[in-house]
Amino acid sequence: MSVLEIRDLHVSVGEGDDAKEILRGVDLTVRSGETHAIMGPNGSGKSTLAYSIAGHPKYTVTGGTVTLDGEDVLAMTVDERARAGLFLAMQYPVEVPGVSVSNFLRTAATAIKGEAPKLRTWVKDVKAEMELLEMDSAFAERNVNEGFSGGEKKRHEILQMRLLKPAIAILDETDSGLDVDALRIVSEGVNRTREEGEIGVLLITHYTRILRYIKPDFVHVFVAGKVVAEGGAELADQLENEGYAAYVKDSNELA
């Protein structure tokens, strides 16, 4: 049982006079077994929230707290965050020259678990998960992110999540750039993980379409750097029909 708690989180980008506050007091709690969707217009700060939890150096936390099971996440290095059980799909977005997917995944699993997974079972697990994600077995020997298509990047993210078995997974725009088949396959990977265990999922998205495949327990509407409305899955249906206009207007009036 894990709990990720975000309290009154304020985050800025830029330095000195150029510093701009992006997150303006975010409150959110994600527990094991729960799936939360954060939905909001472009530029509202959704990725900033994900990067801040991941520990990206460009984002400066100016106030508030993030804890995992009471431990101060903001005081942890990026590696420590992963070992504590946080999975952030955008953590490794860059090309890693000369490192195959297979070696990369085993290195990550070793770093997180503190010991190398047994080679024979590991190879079997990777193969099985890749088959479930309908990935060609040759993919395992390709260099990480080198020439990956949008769909391959997303499948690789879900493959990482499947193999690293985090307590809490943060998935940012997992649906972007996916055709319907890839969206279904990626969503099934997330849903398998939900069914098998106690994972908590924070699913960040601009569009409602992935929520037809992954039913959230909670939906948070995110506008101008904070949560402005909360509800259940029905709130996603309402956003699909009505868009964000009502919330954006409210938030402008507040500003």
How does DSSP assign 37-51, residue by residue? EEE--TTSSHHHHHH
> Cβ of residue 113: shortest distance to ligand ADP, in angstroms?
31
* Binding span for ligand ADP by CB under 6 A among 39-47, 99-107, 157-165, 207-215: 39-47
> Cβ of residue 91: shortest distance to ligand ADP, in angstroms?
16
CB neighbour class for 147 (10 Å; exposed up to 12, middle 13-18, buried from 19): exposed
Q: Which residues make beta-bridge pairs with 24?
A: 10
Tokens (6 digits) for 213 = 């495949």
Q: For ligand ADP, give the closer residue by CB, 51 or 87.
A: 51
Taking CB under 6 A as the rule, which mask of x and - marks residues 41-70 in contact with ligand ADP?
Answer: -xxxxxxx---------x------------
40 binds ligand ADP (CB under 6 A): yes
> Cβ of residue 25: shortest distance to ligand ADP, in angstroms?
15
How does DSSP assign 164-175, residue by residue? H--SEEEEESTT
Q: For ligand ADP, give the closer residue by CB, 44 or 251.
A: 44
Q: For Mg ion, give the closer residue by CB, 99 or 227.
A: 227
Of 61, 87, 89, the residue nearest 4 (C-alpha): 87
Q: Which residues make beta-bridge pairs with 68?
A: 4, 71
Q: For ligand ADP, give the closer residue by CB, 89 or 105.
A: 89
> Cβ of residue 26: shortest distance to Mg ion, in angstroms?
9
List the Cα angle 33/175/35 in 5-degree steps: 15
Residue 131 binds which entry of ligand ADP, Mg ion, none, CB below 5-8 Å type-dependent = none
Question: What number of other Cβ atoms are within 10 A of residue 156's Cβ?
Answer: 23
- Residues 15-74 contacting Mg ion, CB under 5 A: 25, 46-47
Alpha-carbon dihedral angle through residues 74, 158, 107, 200, given to the nearest 10 degrees: 40
Q: Which residues bind Mg ion (CB under 5 A)?
A: 8, 25, 46-47
Binding residues (CB under 6 A) for ligand ADP: these are 13-14, 22, 40, 42-48, 58
